[in-house]
Amino acid sequence: MTTATTRVEMPDWAWQQAAVREALRARDMSAVLRAVQKYAGASQARIAAAVDMTQSRVNEIINGRREVSRLDVYERVADGLGMPDDARRLLGLAPSREARAGGVAFDLAAFPEVVRVYGSQAAAADEIQRHAATAAEIDVLAVRGLGLLALNDSLLRAGLTRREPPRVRVLLLDPDAPTVATRAAEIGESAESLAGGIRLSEARLRDLAPGRQLAVYRYRTLPTWRIIRLDSTMYLSAFTAGWEGHESAVYKVMSTPSGPLYAGFRRMLDALAEDAERTI
């Protein structure tokens, strides 16, 4: 029987990798166990102890000589690997923890698109930076984007400047739009200062653009959502009167076959870019 001391646990972000999620959907336990070796650094013997199998059986599964088909074995593997509820659902299993009081309508575990909620951008920063380091596509919807992109120590800067840069699309508030004054008043800043910050971001991104797939747009509507999209993962926060996007709670949303949130926000980004003015 698996215990807390024998369990092998991958980092939470590893369960969100596209290849791992696809392996879970396909119930491809060979690929799942190989991912555990890669991301948890676990040996076959360590995995065997965690999932209550012999090492030879684990070896056969990893090398494709044996398949897993019994539900009780899937459950044992999920328990032994400390599989989070979102991953368990992809595998076709029930969540491991009981629904909170109030029923599933109030339990985020019942909505596999929303896989985590952080109290602020700072709490999510390490995970976002790890994802940005490998993402093939990055979309950003922000007001001025200084803390995300434009400064040397900005959250996504290392992801943009790596040797094999991603395709990047950035949407910033038009510094000449009337909504700049509205947003500036909400956060207790002058419109001139806010507009200047946007122009500084554009200038720094323009310096970065040569040799990269980088497109920058200006939108004119009042900012509501702050979005960081890293391939099939979005980190969503809100702009409201009194605080900026990095101070808001951050919702981690994953693309799923039938979920509306990721698809809806992706559609909103695309539509906003189509109506925006490209500056870079």
CATH code at position 44: 1.10.260
Number of domains in the chain: 2
pLDDT band at 203 (very low <50, low <70, confident <90, very high): very high
Report if residue 61 sits inside a domain.
Answer: yes
Mean pLDDT over each residue of the chain, to the nearest integer: 86
DSSP string, 58-70: HHHHHTTSS----
pTM for the full predicted model = 0.64
Distance in angstroms (rounded) separating the CA atoms of residues 246 and 244: 6
Those residues with Cβ within 8 angstroms of residue 120's Cβ, 6 or more apart along the chain or in another chain: 246, 247, 248, 249, 250
Q: At 249, which helix (H) or strand (E)?
A: none
Report if residue 108 sits inside a domain.
Answer: no
CB distance 205 to 102 below 8 Å: no
Query: Same domain for 218 and 265?
Result: yes
Report if residue 7 sits inside a domain.
Answer: no
Distance in angstroms (rounded) separating the CA atoms of residues 250 and 82: 24
Question: In terms of residue numbers, what domain contains 84?
Answer: 12-100
68-103 burial: b if 16+ Cβ within 10 Å, else e: beeeebbbbbbbbbbbbbbbbbbbebebeeeeeeee
* pLDDT confidence of residue 207: 93
Distance in angstroms (rounded) separating the CA atoms of residues 203 and 179: 21
Distance in angstroms (rounded) separating the CA atoms of residues 12 and 128: 12
**Tell me: the pLDDT tens digits for 232-270?**
999 999 888 766 777 788 899 988 876 788 999 999 999
Report if residue 135 sits inside a domain.
Answer: yes
Report if residue 24 sits inside a domain.
Answer: yes
Domain C-terminal end among 68, 100, 132 = 100
Query: Same domain for 126 and 248?
Result: yes
Distance in angstroms (rounded) separating the CA atoms of residues 110 and 129: 27
Report if residue 159 sits inside a domain.
Answer: yes
Query: Same domain for 163 and 42?
Result: no
